[in-house]
Every structure is written in structure tokens, then in C-alpha cells.
Amino acid sequence: MLRPFTDVDREPFFALHTHPLVVESMGSAPSRAECDTNVDFIMDEMDHQRWGLWAVDIAGGPTFVGVVGLHRVTAALPCFGEVEAEWRLHPDHWGLGYATEAAEAALHFGFEVGGLREIIAFTASLNVRSQAVMTRLGMVRDVAGDFDHPGLPQGSPLRRHVLYRISAPSSSSQVSPSVAS
């Protein structure tokens, strides 16, 4: 289930982003203040655009197992202005299909409700788990769009990022997303 963030998500959001396996794919852990600022941004973006990043709950199970959704890429990146599908789940929930299912719902929302024509995703070239999700979603690698992430230092093994794209389906999708507004 995808739902808007609330203030109770701040602590588990911080715990997610400081988990050692998550930090491994990001390069460094954010501070609590940085995480709180990020949650503020997520909540503001949802209020203004009516889409953005959602908190992920497991139906009939745990609440806040991660974050999935859509986000407009910032000016610091070469794909500035495009809409990115994002996902980050707690490692306890990796390998269970939740990232693919939730990202599929976010893509459906972006295309069917948001009227988007294309959505991108990117990750560090070493992050094969996220690339596998992108492939399962039907996204296609755009090798010409690969880039060095300016927020990561020269020489970092995470600096090189791969870019994937997916276009809106020509007919109505059969996916029935579970997104709470």
C-alpha cells in the first residue's frame, strides 16, 4: 500500500536511510536533520503536485517498510526536469517483490492519473538489484543517458549511474495500483 507521508514516518525514514546496507548504495548516511528536511520536501511535493513519494506499508503487515514514488529530477543532474521513479525499501523486505509491485503502482499512477508520457529511473551502476527492478518494470536502459553523479566524489565506485526509461503505454494498463490519496 502506498500512502502519503505523515510525521510518524520521520523516525523509520531515518532508520531506513542509516541502515548499513542502504548506506552502502548511497555512499554515506544522512543526518537526522537532513532526513527530516527530506520528509518535509516529500510532504510539500505531495501537497503541491498531488503525486510524489509515498510511504510503503505491507497490507496486513508492517507499516513503513520504505519509500516509493515519483519525483521531478533536480537541476544538479543531467536528466533535470524529467520525472523519476524511485524506490528504497528496508533490507528486511528486499527480494520479496515489494519494490517492483510498489513501483509498478507508482508508474501506473504517473501515466494514468498524472498524464506523464515518460518516466525514468537511475541508480549506481553497481546497484544490480535496482536495475533488476527496472527491467521487471519494462524499463529500457538508455546507455547514452548514463552519467557520473555530481553528488558523489571522483573515484567513488557509486559515482557512475545508469539510466532507464519507460514510456506511457498506448492502451490502458491492467495494473490496479493501491495508492491512497
Instruction: Please check whether residue 165 is in contact with residue 139, taking contact to mean a CB–CB distance below 8 angstroms.
Output: yes
Query: Going from the N-terminus, what domains does the chain have, and what CATH number goes with each?
Result: 2-167 (3.40.630.30)
pLDDT at 176 over 50: no
The model's pTM: 0.90
pLDDT higher at 176 or 49? 49
Q: What is the pLDDT of residues 42-90, one digit of tens each?
A: 999 999 988 899 999 999 998 999 999 999 998 899 999 999 999 999 9
Which residues, other chains included, contact 101 with Cβ-Cβ below 8 Å and sequence gap of 6+? none
Q: Is 75 helix (H, G, I), strand (E, B) or coil?
A: coil
